[in-house]
Chains A and B, each alone.
Chain A
């Protein structure tokens, strides 16, 4: 019926219309604070991060090692039975050079988010984190990286206990 209709509803406003008070508007904010129970598997993952370790979980049934750990294997629906310490090294699966923050502020030096496949986990099993100590132009998929940890005393049991991952140069551990 779009052929038959000439005037579609919907009134477009500009920022200026609102600033000038041409139409009424009001602002509000929701205070929404949460304390999420970390539970068995993620609780353990955070505790391990505090110790400077990335923890995975292994499914004895389908023999996958996943990260972060979870209580049930989503592929065979068997309870995960073991925690497995993983390396704090891995491979860049993919990355971006991001010039805006989460609240859309422009930044000059890009943040470099990446999915990092963690050594010791099954292929393609990674975590989201950031890269650092690298020229953005030098980042490549397939690059080997290693976690840079916060000093022990400053760790909280959080994903941010890893500051970022840095490239592993030839011959370096």
Chain B
């Protein structure tokens, strides 16, 4: 059985802002229009649309995939919204991959949108309802709890300090200073700034956390024969993987994201990658909290367990290091409009692998990159490997 090859051929994104004037529809449309223009395509070329967007509570619209469809370019087209919590942004290109790989479509639009500022007064409150309605929600948990609990367990298991972890926030926010769409880029931030920022839920401080953000990102994906016609620089989707762990998150080892490992192994196998540490040149792991980047590098088998902080300390993960990690600036720096943030990572790989990332360009003509997102109750891993 021959498998169809799928490539990314165009990308666009809005600025990531704390509060956008645009409606969610308008943000989606802006990103889509940019993506189409980037590959000189029109809506006539688009056969199907895949949307990724996180909880309805944020935009404040029930069945918000339906509401957003016109902005996403879905008018009278096959249109579906996929949903794996925070993992959605990296899942939605996987969704488009299977649309095209199935042979049903040749060209798909991929759109991810989030307008978190519509939840008022504060988007974090929407996260109360991610917990089990009967056995957990009565305790009034907030989102920070689950991250703080996981971070503490990770630190405890491997003897990692808060300063080790804060380096990630510093690296990413500095990287983001070069991203024209970034919300929180900061060239001069230091580890002390992170450690001295307000404690939200120990061990999590304010600057360990990515901000509530509005934004949208769009890509155009095409089957091989179309991709080669459109561009001489297609970026191929070489491997995809995703995995969902048990909902009983308090029955698991929180120190290690095995669901990320499962997703990564699936993607490596599909991409024919035997030695990921040698064969992956740029990594965009999910970094809504700084420790998460480290956690995920380990789950992706790109660092030994408990050893990811050392890579950061040694500069391996810097933009000009041996394995640049989050050269975009990540969620910590560019911002975290949930699904759009995940898709931003795919867009970043697209630009990096084509040598179009400007001030953020990773040296050495990287050939292959990996993007990963995480979501749900410390539970889902989504992985895409792209190469030129």
Contacts and interface: CB of A to CB of B under 8 A. Distances in A.
Does A touch B (CB under 8 Å) in the complex?
Answer: yes
A10 B20 contact: yes
A96 B144 contact: yes
B356 to A, nearest CB: 5
Task: Give the most central of A94, A103, A114, A141: most B CB within 10 Å.
Answer: A94
Interface in B118-160: 120-122, 124-125, 127-128, 131, 133-136, 138-142, 144-145, 148-150, 152-153, 156
Task: Give the most central of B62, B131, B139, B142: most A CB within 10 Å.
Answer: B139
Contacts of A93: 153, 250, 254
Interface in A1-25: 1-6, 8-15, 18, 23
Nearest to B352: A2
A151 interface: no
B176 interface: no
B152 A23 contact: no
B19 A104 contact: no
Main secondary structure of the interface of B (DSSP, over half): mixed
Interface residues of B, number: 68
A18 B118 CA distance: 12
B366 to A, nearest CB: 16
Interface residues of A, number: 57
A124 interface: yes
24 contacts: A1-B356, A2-B180, A2-B351, A8-B15, A10-B15, A12-B19, A28-B60, A30-B62, A66-B251, A67-B251, A93-B254, A94-B153, A94-B156, A94-B254, A95-B149, A96-B149, A96-B203, A103-B128, A113-B141, A124-B252, A126-B250, A128-B141, A141-B152, A159-B135
Interface of A: 1-6, 8-15, 18, 23, 27-28, 30, 34, 36, 38, 42, 45-46, 66-68, 70, 74, 93-104, 110, 113-115, 124-130, 141, 158-160
Given A10-B22, A100-B200, A159-B134, 14 more contacts: A2-B360, A3-B356, A3-B357, A9-B14, A11-B17, A93-B153, A96-B148, A98-B202, A99-B201, A102-B128, A104-B124, A113-B141, A128-B145, A141-B156
